[in-house]
Structure 1
Amino acid sequence: MNIQNYNLLLADDDHDDCDFFREALDELSLPVTLVTVNDGVELMDFLEDKTAENLPDILFLDLNMPRKNGFECLMEIKRLEKLKNLHVIIFSTSLDLGIVDTVYEKGALYYIRKPGDFAKLKKVIATAITMTTQPDFKKPERENFILQP
Protein backbone atom coordinates (compact mmCIF):
# COMPACT_ATOMS: atom_id res chain seq x y z
CA MET A 1 0.00 0.00 0.00
CA ASN A 2 2.07 2.94 -1.24
CA ILE A 3 -0.22 5.95 -1.53
CA GLN A 4 -0.02 9.72 -1.32
CA ASN A 5 -2.56 10.30 1.45
CA TYR A 6 -3.34 7.78 4.18
CA ASN A 7 -6.90 7.48 5.43
CA LEU A 8 -6.85 6.57 9.09
CA LEU A 9 -9.74 5.59 11.32
CA LEU A 10 -9.49 5.79 15.11
CA ALA A 11 -12.12 3.94 17.15
CA ASP A 12 -11.84 5.15 20.74
CA ASP A 13 -14.46 6.29 23.26
CA ASP A 14 -12.01 8.52 25.17
CA HIS A 15 -12.26 12.00 23.64
CA ASP A 16 -9.01 13.13 25.28
CA ASP A 17 -7.17 10.16 23.71
CA CYS A 18 -8.69 11.04 20.33
CA ASP A 19 -7.53 14.65 20.67
CA PHE A 20 -4.05 13.51 21.76
CA PHE A 21 -3.86 11.18 18.73
CA ARG A 22 -4.99 13.94 16.33
CA GLU A 23 -2.47 16.41 17.78
CA ALA A 24 0.32 13.85 17.37
CA LEU A 25 -0.66 13.33 13.73
CA ASP A 26 -0.75 17.07 13.13
CA GLU A 27 2.78 17.45 14.47
CA LEU A 28 4.05 14.55 12.37
CA SER A 29 3.01 16.36 9.20
CA LEU A 30 2.22 13.07 7.50
CA PRO A 31 -0.17 13.04 4.55
CA VAL A 32 -3.13 11.65 6.48
CA THR A 33 -6.83 12.13 6.93
CA LEU A 34 -8.19 11.04 10.31
CA VAL A 35 -11.77 10.06 11.08
CA THR A 36 -12.78 9.12 14.61
CA VAL A 37 -15.67 7.05 15.90
CA ASN A 38 -16.50 6.65 19.57
CA ASP A 39 -17.86 3.14 20.03
CA GLY A 40 -17.97 -0.23 18.35
CA VAL A 41 -21.46 0.12 16.91
CA GLU A 42 -20.53 3.44 15.33
CA LEU A 43 -17.34 1.82 13.97
CA MET A 44 -19.12 -1.08 12.33
CA ASP A 45 -21.83 1.21 10.89
CA PHE A 46 -19.11 3.45 9.44
CA LEU A 47 -17.25 0.51 7.87
CA GLU A 48 -20.37 -1.11 6.46
CA ASP A 49 -21.26 2.13 4.66
CA LYS A 50 -17.92 2.07 2.81
CA THR A 51 -17.15 0.27 -0.43
CA ALA A 52 -14.08 -1.97 -0.48
CA GLU A 53 -12.17 0.74 -2.38
CA ASN A 54 -13.27 3.40 0.10
CA LEU A 55 -12.15 1.72 3.34
CA PRO A 56 -9.57 3.33 5.61
CA ASP A 57 -5.96 2.30 5.10
CA ILE A 58 -5.46 1.66 8.83
CA LEU A 59 -7.87 1.26 11.74
CA PHE A 60 -6.49 2.09 15.20
CA LEU A 61 -8.85 0.16 17.49
CA ASP A 62 -9.33 0.62 21.21
CA LEU A 63 -10.43 -2.55 23.00
CA ASN A 64 -12.55 -1.05 25.78
CA MET A 65 -15.46 0.75 24.15
CA PRO A 66 -19.17 0.89 24.94
CA ARG A 67 -21.96 -0.87 23.03
CA LYS A 68 -19.54 -3.16 21.17
CA ASN A 69 -15.97 -3.62 22.36
CA GLY A 70 -12.82 -3.82 20.26
CA PHE A 71 -12.62 -7.63 20.50
CA GLU A 72 -16.10 -7.98 19.05
CA CYS A 73 -15.31 -5.48 16.30
CA LEU A 74 -12.03 -7.20 15.39
CA MET A 75 -13.74 -10.59 15.12
CA GLU A 76 -16.55 -9.13 13.02
CA ILE A 77 -14.11 -7.28 10.75
CA LYS A 78 -12.09 -10.43 10.10
CA ARG A 79 -15.25 -12.45 9.37
CA LEU A 80 -16.63 -10.05 6.78
CA GLU A 81 -15.28 -10.57 3.28
CA LYS A 82 -15.23 -6.85 2.48
CA LEU A 83 -13.33 -5.98 5.68
CA LYS A 84 -11.09 -8.97 6.34
CA ASN A 85 -8.00 -7.34 4.77
CA LEU A 86 -8.41 -4.07 6.67
CA HIS A 87 -5.21 -3.20 8.55
CA VAL A 88 -6.18 -3.20 12.24
CA ILE A 89 -3.81 -1.94 14.91
CA ILE A 90 -4.92 -2.36 18.51
CA PHE A 91 -4.51 0.89 20.44
CA SER A 92 -5.18 0.23 24.12
CA THR A 93 -4.19 1.29 27.64
CA SER A 94 -3.94 -2.36 28.71
CA LEU A 95 -0.94 -4.61 28.10
CA ASP A 96 -2.24 -7.97 29.27
CA LEU A 97 -0.24 -10.62 27.38
CA GLY A 98 -3.23 -12.95 27.20
CA ILE A 99 -5.19 -10.22 25.43
CA VAL A 100 -2.21 -9.45 23.20
CA ASP A 101 -2.02 -13.12 22.17
CA THR A 102 -5.77 -13.24 21.49
CA VAL A 103 -5.87 -10.17 19.24
CA TYR A 104 -2.76 -11.39 17.40
CA GLU A 105 -4.51 -14.71 16.69
CA LYS A 106 -7.69 -12.87 15.65
CA GLY A 107 -5.85 -10.93 12.94
CA ALA A 108 -4.66 -7.59 14.34
CA LEU A 109 -1.41 -6.42 12.72
CA TYR A 110 0.15 -4.62 15.68
CA TYR A 111 -0.55 -3.84 19.30
CA ILE A 112 0.23 -0.40 20.70
CA ARG A 113 -0.06 0.37 24.39
CA LYS A 114 -1.18 3.99 24.55
CA PRO A 115 1.82 5.99 25.73
CA GLY A 116 1.17 8.87 28.12
CA ASP A 117 4.15 10.76 26.71
CA PHE A 118 3.40 12.89 23.63
CA ALA A 119 6.80 12.34 21.98
CA LYS A 120 6.41 8.57 22.37
CA LEU A 121 2.90 8.71 20.93
CA LYS A 122 4.14 10.56 17.86
CA LYS A 123 6.96 8.07 17.39
CA VAL A 124 4.78 4.96 17.69
CA ILE A 125 2.08 6.35 15.37
CA ALA A 126 4.70 7.24 12.76
CA THR A 127 6.25 3.77 13.07
CA ALA A 128 2.87 2.05 12.73
CA ILE A 129 1.91 4.03 9.63
CA THR A 130 5.32 3.61 8.01
CA MET A 131 5.51 -0.13 8.63
CA THR A 132 1.97 -1.07 7.62
CA THR A 133 1.98 1.01 4.44
CA GLN A 134 5.07 -0.61 2.92
CA PRO A 135 4.32 -2.27 -0.44
CA ASP A 136 5.73 -5.61 0.77
CA PHE A 137 4.15 -5.47 4.25
CA LYS A 138 3.46 -8.80 5.94
CA LYS A 139 2.03 -9.38 9.38
CA PRO A 140 4.91 -9.57 11.88
CA GLU A 141 5.76 -12.62 13.93
CA ARG A 142 4.29 -12.63 17.44
CA GLU A 143 7.55 -11.42 19.04
CA ASN A 144 7.38 -8.24 16.92
CA PHE A 145 3.64 -7.66 17.36
CA ILE A 146 3.84 -5.09 20.17
CA LEU A 147 5.06 -1.75 18.83
CA GLN A 148 7.19 0.15 21.31
CA PRO A 149 7.85 3.90 21.02
Structure 2
Amino acid sequence: MSEINIFYADDDDDDLMFFNDAVSALSNKAEKLINLYIHKNGELLLESIKKNKQNNNVVFLDLNMPRKSGFQFLEEIRNEPDLKTIPVIIYSTSADDDNISLSHNLGANFYAVKPYNFQDLMKMISNVALINWQNHQADFENFLFNKIVN
Protein backbone atom coordinates (compact mmCIF):
# COMPACT_ATOMS: atom_id res chain seq x y z
CA MET A 1 0.00 0.00 0.00
CA SER A 2 1.34 3.42 -0.90
CA GLU A 3 1.14 6.32 1.49
CA ILE A 4 0.81 10.08 1.67
CA ASN A 5 1.89 12.47 4.42
CA ILE A 6 -0.48 15.35 5.11
CA PHE A 7 0.83 18.28 7.16
CA TYR A 8 -1.95 20.54 8.41
CA ALA A 9 -1.62 23.84 10.29
CA ASP A 10 -4.65 25.51 11.81
CA ASP A 11 -5.15 27.46 15.04
CA ASP A 12 -8.76 26.26 15.45
CA ASP A 13 -9.07 23.14 17.62
CA ASP A 14 -12.46 22.23 16.16
CA ASP A 15 -11.12 22.38 12.59
CA LEU A 16 -8.11 20.26 13.59
CA MET A 17 -10.36 17.67 15.24
CA PHE A 18 -12.79 17.62 12.28
CA PHE A 19 -9.92 17.08 9.82
CA ASN A 20 -8.32 14.43 12.04
CA ASP A 21 -11.63 12.58 12.34
CA ALA A 22 -12.04 12.60 8.56
CA VAL A 23 -8.54 11.20 8.02
CA SER A 24 -9.21 8.52 10.65
CA ALA A 25 -12.47 7.54 8.95
CA LEU A 26 -10.68 7.37 5.59
CA SER A 27 -7.81 5.31 6.94
CA ASN A 28 -10.03 2.25 7.17
CA LYS A 29 -11.02 2.34 3.51
CA ALA A 30 -8.41 4.47 1.73
CA GLU A 31 -6.35 3.21 -1.17
CA LYS A 32 -3.36 4.94 0.41
CA LEU A 33 -2.13 5.05 3.97
CA ILE A 34 -2.56 8.64 5.18
CA ASN A 35 -0.11 9.90 7.80
CA LEU A 36 -1.43 13.10 9.36
CA TYR A 37 0.75 15.67 11.13
CA ILE A 38 -1.38 18.41 12.69
CA HIS A 39 -0.03 21.65 14.13
CA LYS A 40 -1.54 24.65 15.89
CA ASN A 41 0.75 27.04 14.03
CA GLY A 42 2.92 27.25 10.96
CA GLU A 43 6.26 27.39 12.76
CA LEU A 44 5.77 23.88 14.11
CA LEU A 45 4.49 22.78 10.72
CA LEU A 46 7.68 23.91 8.96
CA GLU A 47 9.84 22.12 11.53
CA SER A 48 7.76 18.96 11.13
CA ILE A 49 8.04 18.99 7.33
CA LYS A 50 11.82 19.38 7.52
CA LYS A 51 12.08 16.60 10.11
CA ASN A 52 9.81 14.20 8.21
CA LYS A 53 11.09 14.95 4.72
CA GLN A 54 9.80 12.15 2.53
CA ASN A 55 8.10 11.68 -0.81
CA ASN A 56 4.36 12.14 -1.16
CA ASN A 57 3.96 15.11 1.17
CA VAL A 58 1.17 17.66 0.91
CA VAL A 59 0.51 20.69 3.13
CA PHE A 60 -2.83 22.18 4.17
CA LEU A 61 -2.47 25.75 5.45
CA ASP A 62 -5.19 27.72 7.18
CA LEU A 63 -5.11 31.36 6.10
CA ASN A 64 -6.03 33.12 9.33
CA MET A 65 -3.60 32.13 12.04
CA PRO A 66 -2.12 34.33 14.78
CA ARG A 67 1.45 35.61 14.46
CA LYS A 68 1.80 34.63 10.78
CA SER A 69 -0.85 34.05 8.16
CA GLY A 70 -1.08 31.10 5.81
CA PHE A 71 0.15 33.45 3.07
CA GLN A 72 3.33 34.13 5.02
CA PHE A 73 3.96 30.43 5.60
CA LEU A 74 3.28 29.70 1.94
CA GLU A 75 5.93 32.27 1.01
CA GLU A 76 8.38 30.68 3.45
CA ILE A 77 7.76 27.22 2.01
CA ARG A 78 8.23 28.47 -1.56
CA ASN A 79 11.45 30.28 -0.60
CA GLU A 80 12.97 27.29 1.22
CA PRO A 81 15.07 25.26 -1.28
CA ASP A 82 14.33 21.91 0.40
CA LEU A 83 10.60 22.58 0.68
CA LYS A 84 9.65 24.68 -2.34
CA THR A 85 8.31 21.77 -4.40
CA ILE A 86 5.99 20.43 -1.68
CA PRO A 87 2.35 20.76 -2.75
CA VAL A 88 0.43 23.33 -0.69
CA ILE A 89 -3.33 23.68 -0.41
CA ILE A 90 -4.60 26.88 1.16
CA TYR A 91 -7.52 25.75 3.31
CA SER A 92 -9.84 28.52 4.48
CA THR A 93 -13.41 29.40 5.39
CA SER A 94 -13.05 32.38 3.04
CA ALA A 95 -14.04 32.15 -0.61
CA ASP A 96 -12.79 35.68 -1.27
CA ASP A 97 -11.51 36.13 -4.84
CA ASP A 98 -8.54 38.21 -3.66
CA ASN A 99 -7.44 35.45 -1.27
CA ILE A 100 -7.79 32.86 -4.02
CA SER A 101 -5.78 34.93 -6.52
CA LEU A 102 -3.06 35.79 -4.00
CA SER A 103 -2.75 32.10 -3.02
CA HIS A 104 -2.24 31.17 -6.66
CA ASN A 105 0.24 33.99 -7.23
CA LEU A 106 2.27 32.92 -4.17
CA GLY A 107 2.55 29.38 -5.52
CA ALA A 108 -0.19 27.34 -3.85
CA ASN A 109 -1.26 24.26 -5.79
CA PHE A 110 -4.93 24.54 -4.80
CA TYR A 111 -7.29 26.68 -2.75
CA ALA A 112 -9.98 24.81 -0.82
CA VAL A 113 -12.88 26.30 1.08
CA LYS A 114 -13.37 24.33 4.29
CA PRO A 115 -16.38 22.06 3.93
CA TYR A 116 -18.92 21.97 6.74
CA ASN A 117 -20.14 18.50 5.78
CA PHE A 118 -18.08 15.56 7.05
CA GLN A 119 -18.63 13.51 3.87
CA ASP A 120 -17.44 16.41 1.70
CA LEU A 121 -14.30 16.75 3.81
CA MET A 122 -13.60 13.03 3.51
CA LYS A 123 -14.11 13.22 -0.26
CA MET A 124 -11.76 16.20 -0.53
CA ILE A 125 -8.99 14.51 1.50
CA SER A 126 -9.45 11.30 -0.49
CA ASN A 127 -9.11 13.21 -3.77
CA VAL A 128 -5.97 14.96 -2.49
CA ALA A 129 -4.47 11.58 -1.57
CA LEU A 130 -5.12 10.25 -5.08
CA ILE A 131 -3.36 13.09 -6.94
CA ASN A 132 -0.03 12.19 -8.49
CA TRP A 133 1.85 15.15 -7.02
CA GLN A 134 5.09 14.39 -8.87
CA ASN A 135 3.36 15.17 -12.19
CA HIS A 136 0.88 17.77 -10.98
CA GLN A 137 0.98 21.34 -12.27
CA ALA A 138 -1.02 24.12 -10.64
CA ASP A 139 -3.61 25.37 -13.13
CA PHE A 140 -5.68 28.45 -12.36
CA GLU A 141 -8.68 27.01 -14.23
CA ASN A 142 -8.85 24.18 -11.66
CA PHE A 143 -7.28 26.07 -8.75
CA LEU A 144 -10.41 26.18 -6.58
CA PHE A 145 -10.29 22.61 -5.32
CA ASN A 146 -13.94 22.49 -4.26
CA LYS A 147 -14.95 22.69 -7.92
CA ILE A 148 -12.90 19.57 -8.65
CA VAL A 149 -14.25 17.66 -5.65
CA ASN A 150 -17.93 18.14 -6.47
Structure 2 stretches of 5 or more lacking a match?
none
1:127 Cα shift? 1.3
The TM-score with structure 1 as length reference comes to: 0.87
Q: Distance in 2 between matches of 1:21 and 1:80?
A: 27
Query: Is residue 113 of structure 2 the alignment partner of residue 116 of structure 1?
Result: no
Cα gap change, 1:72 to 1:134, in 2 (>3 Å):
closer
1:147 Cα shift? 1.1
Aligned to 1:39: 41
Superposed CA deviations along residues 40-97 of structure 1, whole A, max 9, x for unmatched, are 222233334x27x447700111011112211100001101111100111111111111
Structure 1 stretches of 5 or more lacking a match?
none
1:134 Cα shift? 5.0
Aligned to 1:145: 143
Cα gap change, 1:56 to 1:136, in 2 (>3 Å):
closer
Contact 2:88 2:108 in 1 (8 A): yes
Q: Give identity over the alignment, percent.
A: 36
Aligned to 1:90: 90
Compute the RMSD of aligned alpha carbons.
1.9
Contact 1:74 1:108 in 2 (8 A): yes
Aligned to 2:19: 21
